[in-house]
Amino acid sequence: MGKASTRDKILDAALTLFSEKGYDGVGVDLIGENAGIKGPSLYRHFKGKEDILNSLIEKVGAYYELNFGSENHIDRIPESVEELLTFSMERIRFTMHDVTLQKTRRILVMEQFRNPRIAELTSKHHMDGLQGMFQKIFEAMMEMKILKMDDAGTMALEFVAPVSLLIHTYDRQPEREAEVMEKIKKHFEHFAKMYAN
């Protein structure tokens, strides 16, 4: 891999600092220091702290879509209920263990009540976007007669809401990972029993 650009170093430093201290608890000088540059040099790359946050949101959003998927980017439709469960568990493991996503979730949780854009992103990433993605997957799986015909939006809500809550449990208490994973697995298995054709 190539050497990280100064811009990427700034964004990486901001991600870590915002996730630890919150947006308001971090100044551009501290971001610059953690990126290995003088605070004023940061302005060669960004207009200010809000520009850093906006660029960070865009970068992490693209990273998430590429590595997890979205309703606009579904890399494959599972061809069986078993494949759906495997597909979903792979994404759960990625979400729980990816350091970038862990830090991003912390920022979203801390800042959602202070910043309307962050509030919107929190809803999108914790529920609405996931529900939309799985609704499309379930619609396709119903057409393939893998899942029973039902309301795909409601099915998607049933599928993702408990998982989102359980991932937040893991974020607060990582020592409960085994318990959280077992509950998610049982939830997916129950969903399969209810909706498999």
DSSP annotation of 151 reads -
- Secondary-structure breakdown of the chain: helix, strand, coil percentages, each rounded to the nearest 5: 75, 0, 20
Residue 114: name the closest of 18, 46, 17 by CA: 18
pTM: 0.86
Containing H/E element for 117?
helix 116-123
Using one digit for the tens of pLDDT, what is the confidence trace for 4-20?
799 999 999 999 999 99
Using one digit for the tens of pLDDT, what is the confidence trace for 39-72?
778 899 999 999 999 999 999 989 999 999 888 8
Residue 118 has what pLDDT? 87
DSSP annotation of 37 reads S
The b-or-e profile of 18-27 (16+ CB within 10 A means b, else e) is bbeeebeebe
Which amino acid is it at 62? A
Task: Report in angstroms the alpha-carbon separations of 33 from 28, 36, 104, 108, 128.
Answer: 8, 5, 21, 24, 36
Which amino acid is it at 85? L
Look at residue 2 and tell me whether its pLDDT is greater than 60. Answer: no
d(CA 13, CA 35) in angstroms, rounded, equals 5
